[in-house]
């Protein structure tokens, strides 16, 4: 059964989240698999690449409290998850740069021998 809260987050994505998801979904980023609105303990991550243990957070008005974000990041780091944070406007105005940063961070964190496989176009 799907979590209604997670489904609500997916259905009400911010414009920045929607734009980034269009570029991450279906292994479009060099074969890396991402999930969106991925539950992780008490949190829901905007995007998560499990093989690289990489969380992507898109920050806007709801991330106005740096203390909450610091607790979330500390929790994830204890689970060997690196967190990359981008502001909404950065995603919307420089999505290629954001994708390049995500790709580089993911490649640095992939386990030895893990080779992402780009999706095949029909």
Domain assignment present for 67: no
Domain assignment present for 30: yes
The residue ranking higher by pLDDT, 1 or 78, is 78
- Written as six digits, the tokens of 122 are 């029909």
pLDDT at 121 over 80: no
Number of domains comprising the chain: 1
Structural domain including 97 reads 4-60+76-108
- In 60-100, which ranges are E strands? 82-87
Q: What is the pLDDT of residue 70?
A: 87
Q: DSSP for 105-122?
A: HHHHHSPTT----PPPP-
The predicted-structure confidence for 19-63, as pLDDT tens digits, reads as follows 999 999 888 888 899 999 999 999 999 999 999 999 999 988 665
Q: What pTM, to 2 d.p., does this model score?
A: 0.83
In CATH, what number is assigned to the domain containing residue 14? 3.40.960.10
Domain assignment present for 9: yes
Q: Which residues contact 105 (CB under 8 A, 6 or more apart)?
A: 52, 54, 82, 84
Of 76, 70, 67, give the one whose Cα is nearest residue 47: 76
Domain assignment present for 120: no
Q: Which residues contact 100 (CB under 8 A, 6 or more apart)?
A: none
Domain assignment present for 114: no
Containing 7, the helix (H) or strand (E) segment is: helix 4-11
């Amino acid at each position: 059964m799907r979590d209604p809260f997670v489904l609500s987050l997916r259905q009400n994505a911010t414009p920045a989240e929607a734009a980034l998801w269009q570029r991450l979904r279906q292994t479009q980023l060099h074969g890396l698999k991402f999930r969106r609105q991925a539950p992780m303990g008490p949190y829901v991550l905007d995007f998560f690449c499990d093989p690289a243990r990489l969380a992507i957070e898109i920050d806007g008005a709801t991330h106005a409290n740096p203390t909450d974000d610091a607790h979330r990041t500390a929790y994830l780091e204890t689970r060997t998850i690196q967190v990359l944070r981008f502001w909404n406007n950065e995603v919307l105005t420089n999505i290629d740069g954001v994708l390049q940063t995500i790709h580089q961070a993911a490649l640095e964190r992939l386990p030895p021998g893990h080779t992402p496989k780009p999706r095949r176009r029909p």
